[in-house]
Structure formats: structure tokens, C-alpha cells
């Protein structure tokens, strides 16, 4: 080797050796200094829905633990995809997070196909926040008090009944499409941009049927403004013990639970992901948080043996859900309205 070239290579190695400690120090500094300013928490649905309720519950506790404000920012649109895309394109520095849901984090990839504005690899898993059952309900003026009566009415009036959901792609949309398939009925899907506007339409009687996550509709069911017909979980909910499951109501094999989790932009430093994941895990185990989740009809994450969550466990969970719901979309023929 030419002496001059050897000198250049040796110099390069020497520079790399002296630079490495600096790079390592900066990486360590990220973990040590984070967070040093407020964090924004995007939510892909309007205020008042389950995603918003869960985001505000966790963001309040996260702010207290991190010592920085965590501001919830509602970015509704495209069934949660607007906020998901904004998160995927944000700087991967831990200062933009998203409280996501089963739709934009799993179902939408199959439902939107090539129109999906981001891919699973564009987002990093932080932790699962909670799981909830869905409820199928009607306005109290409707002449139905059970799923069997709803099916009979739909068969007597094919295509004349409407059901509302919080948007195409959610587990409530998939639940109703699968119910239609299994029961052989035709009910028209009317998607809304979140739970609040949909619930208003059902409670006003302008939409006959609704399906939503338990936390955002439980209050209206308790005060009699909505009549619950069935829950979509495998077993009855302890907060609505008199409401049967779909299987008990005569429609087996239609089981769906929604879930909500936290994600960050891909390429966010692993040290930050692990820090946030540890905080979310700790928050999910706080007695006051678990009590509030139970009051809403929601369950703890349950991804780890102690009922908690980790970034790796949530990542594996998301992957399994994407596969599961792609098959449901295919079989049910569900589409974006």
C-alpha cells in the first residue's frame, strides 16, 4: 500500500476512534435530557370519543411523571389516518406522539390499501394503553330490545335501516359488517368523524342503530338515552352485566374488542422509546388509572404477565392485529364509505 494512502486510512481510523465517544455521549444525552420541552399527543378523532378520553387520561399522568406538559391535539379525519400520517412525518425526537386506535394502527392498512398514507414501519410502538368492548345500541324509541329483534326488523325492512359508526375502519364498523354477513341482513353504514357526532344522531333518533366503544357510550346507556342490545366481547361486561354478548344473542363467531395504544415516529431513538414505554407501563398499573378504566368498561393492557405493556410486546401485538383484521376485511367485504 502506498505510504500516503496508509496515512489517510490511519488518520480516518483515528478520527473515527476519537469521534465515537462523542457520538455515544450525544446518544446518552438524549436519554438523560429527554424531555426538555412540552410534548404533543395527537389524537385522530374529535374530543369526547374513546380515543380522546384515553389520551387525556394517560397524557395527564405522563406529564406528571415526565415533568413536562403533554398537550392533546385532536386531528380528526380519514378514520384516524390524518393524525397517523402527521405522526409518521414528524421529527423522530420524542416530542410528537400519538394515541392511536385499532383502526388507524391495524385495520386501515387492509381497508384503504394503496390509499393508506403511511405504513406500519413508519411508526414505532410505545405501549398498549387499554382494551375495550364495543356495544351495539339503538334509540329507546326503536321497537327492538334484542339483537334477534333487530335482525328481524332488518329483514322486514331490507336496506332501510342505518347504523352509525365513528368512521370506516374501526372495530365497530367491522363488527357490524360481520354481523350483517352472519345474519344475512342489509343495514346501511353511515360513518361519522368520531363518536360524538354519531352518538348525537342516534340519540336524536335520526340514525336507528349505533356501534361504539364502551367508554364513550356507557354514560348515555346508563342515563337511558341509548338502549344497549349486545356487547361484542367474549363474556359480558361487568359494567353492563344485563346486556348479553352477541354469542348469547344468537350470533356466534362475531367477537371484537377495540384497543388503544401509543406510537411515535419511526427512527425515534430507542432510549426515548424505552423511557416512554416504561412510563406507560407504570401508569397502566396505577390503582387510580385502573379504577378509572374499570369505570369506563375498559381493561388494562394485559400484554405482559403482570398485566402491563412494553414496546416490543405492543409491536408484536400490532403485527398480529394487522394480519387478523386483513382477513376480516377480506371475508366481510367491508369497504371505505
Residue 262: how many other CB atoms lie within 10 Å: 27
> Residue 297 above 80 pLDDT?
yes
User: What ranges in 162-310 are assigned the alpha helix state H?
Assistant: 171-183, 195-204, 214-222, 270-284, 287-295
pLDDT at 21: 47
Domains along the sequence of the chain with CATH:
32-132+259-332 (3.40.190.150), 133-231 (3.40.190.10)
Q: Are 229 and 238 in contact (CB under 8 A)?
A: no
307-332 per-position pLDDT tens digit: 999 999 999 999 999 998 898 888 87
pLDDT score at 6: 41
- The whole-number average pLDDT for the span 2-19 is 39
Give yes or no for a contact between 107 and 168, defined as CB atoms under 8 angstroms apart: no
Query: Rounded mean pLDDT of 9-22?
Result: 39
pLDDT of residue 29: 53
Q: What is the pLDDT of residue 337?
A: 62
Strands in 220-323 per DSSP E: 227-231, 257-265, 298-299
Q: How far is CA 317 from the centre of its chain?
A: 12
Spatial contact of 91 and 265, defined as CB atoms under 8 Å apart: yes
Inform me whether the pLDDT recorded for 9 exceeds 60: no
Q: Average pLDDT for residues 262-278, to the nearest whole number? A: 98
Task: Say if residue 47 is exposed, middle or buried (CB neighbours under 10 Å; 0-12, 13-18, 19+).
Answer: middle
- Rounded to two decimals, the pTM is 0.81
Quick check: 131 and 284 in contact, CB under 8 A?
no
CB 186 within 8 Å of CB 157 = no
Number of Cα atoms under 13 Å in the Cβ half of residue 240: 34
| pLDDT given for residue 24 in this prediction | 38
Q: SS3 for 176?
A: helix
How many CB atoms lie under 10 A from the CB of residue 231?
25
Q: Is the pLDDT of residue 23 over 80?
A: no
Reading phi first (left if > 0) and then psi (alpha if -120 to 50, else beta), residue 235 is in beta
Torsion sign, CA atoms 115, 273, 172, 192:
negative
Q: What is the pLDDT of residue 26?
A: 46
Name the residue with higher pLDDT: 327 or 136.
136
Q: Which of 276, 158, 256, 263 is nearest to 211 (CA)?
A: 256
Report pLDDT for 230: 96
- 197-226: pLDDT as tens digits: 999 999 999 999 999 999 989 999 999 999
Amino acid at each position: 500500500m502506498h505510504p500516503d494512502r496508509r496515512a489517510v486510512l490511519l488518520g480516518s481510523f483515528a478520527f473515527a476512534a476519537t469521534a465515537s465517544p462523542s457520538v455515544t455521549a450525544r446518544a446518552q444525552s438524549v436519554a438523560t435530557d429527554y424531555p426538555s420541552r412540552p410534548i404533543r399527543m395527537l389524537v385522530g378523532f374529535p374530543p369526547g370519543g374513546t380515543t380522546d378520553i384515553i389520551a387525556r387520561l394517560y397524557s395527564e399522568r405522563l406529564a406528571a411523571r415526565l415533568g413536562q406538559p403533554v398537550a392533546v391535539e385532536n386531528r380528526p379525519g380519514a378514520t384516524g389516518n390524518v393524525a397517523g400520517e402527521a405522526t409518521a412525518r414528524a421529527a423522530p425526537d420524542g416530542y410528537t406522539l400519538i394515541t392511536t386506535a385499532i383502526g388507524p394502527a391495524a385495520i386501515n392498512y387492509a381497508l384503504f390499501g394503496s390509499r393508506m398514507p403511511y405504513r406500519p414501519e413508519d411508526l414505532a410502538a410505545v405501549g398498549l394503553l387499554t382494551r375495550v368492548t364495543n356495544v351495539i345500541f339503538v334509540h329507546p324509541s326503536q321497537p327492538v330490545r334484542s339483537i334477534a329483534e333487530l335482525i328481524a326488523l332488518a329483514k322486514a325492512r331490507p336496506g332501510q335501516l342505518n347504523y352509525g359508526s365513528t368512521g370506516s375502519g374501526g372495530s365497530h364498523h367491522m363488527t357490524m359488517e360481520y354481523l350483517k354477513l352472519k345474519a344475512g341482513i342489509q343495514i346501511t353504514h353511515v360513518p361519522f368523524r368520531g363518536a360524538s357526532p354519531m352518538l348525537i344522531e342516534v340519540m336524536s333518533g335520526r340514525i336507528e342503530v349505533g356501534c361504539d366503544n364502551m367508554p364513550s357510550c356507557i354514560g348515555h346507556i346508563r342515563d337511558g338515552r341509548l338502549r344497549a342490545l349486545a356487547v361484542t366481547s367474549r363474556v359480558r361486561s361487568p359494567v353492563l352485566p344485563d346486556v348479553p354478548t352477541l354469542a348469547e344473542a344468537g350470533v356466534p363467531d362475531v367477537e371484537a374488542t377495540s384497543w388503544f395504544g401509543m406510537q411515535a415516529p419511526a427512527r425515534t431513538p430507542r432510549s426515548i422509546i424505552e423511557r416512554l414505554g416504561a412510563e406507560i407501563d407504570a401508569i397502566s398499573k396505577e390503582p387510580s388509572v385502573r379504577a378509572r378504566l374499570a369505570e369506563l368498561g375498559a381493561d388494562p393492557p394485559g400484554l405482559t404477565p403482570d398485566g402491563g405493556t412494553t414496546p416490543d410486546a405492543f409491536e408484536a401485538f400490532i403485527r398480529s392485529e394487522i394480519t387478523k383484521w386483513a382477513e376480516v376485511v377480506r371475508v366481510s367485504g367491508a369497504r371505505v364509505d
